[in-house]
Amino acid sequence: QVQLVESGGGLVQAGGSLRLSCAASGRTFSEYAMGWFRQAPGKEREFVATVSRSGGSTYYGDSVKGRFTISRDNAKNTVYLQMNSLKPEDTAVYYCTARSGGRSTIRNEYDYWGQGTQVTVSS
């Protein structure tokens, strides 16, 4: 089992920045690829970003490419999502997720999920 706890969400004005963190516990963190998804009210959960087990490979959803950066610190069992140039359409609950094996953009391929953290971007 892997337990994931997100933090760092909040209210920010458009154009601002936030950094989300996700602390993992329970199993060897470096064995898991990590991802971030988000879900806005009335919408499907959407892929945001993923990072490989080593941190050497990343991939982003089209809507956040060039604005968001995913990274991880395996010594601290933590994955981060740096969000810059935030837009009102980035408003959502952001979920951290983990899967054994390689990184993925597919929601159903992930094994463990955090409880989510709310990000609200005001215009």
Segment 3-29 mean pLDDT: 96
Give the neighbor-by-neighbor strand order of the sheet with 18-25: 3-7, 18-25, 78-83, 68-73
Residue 27 in this model has a pLDDT that exceeds 90: no
Query: What is the C-alpha to C-alpha distance for residues 114 and 35, in angstroms, rounded to an integer?
Result: 11
Segment 82-105 mean pLDDT: 96
What is the pLDDT, as a whole number, of residue 101?
A: 83
Residue 1 in this model has a pLDDT that exceeds 90: no
Those residues whose C-beta lies under 8 Å from the C-beta of residue 108, and which sit 6 or more positions away, are none
Provide the 10 A C-beta neighbour count for residue 3. 13
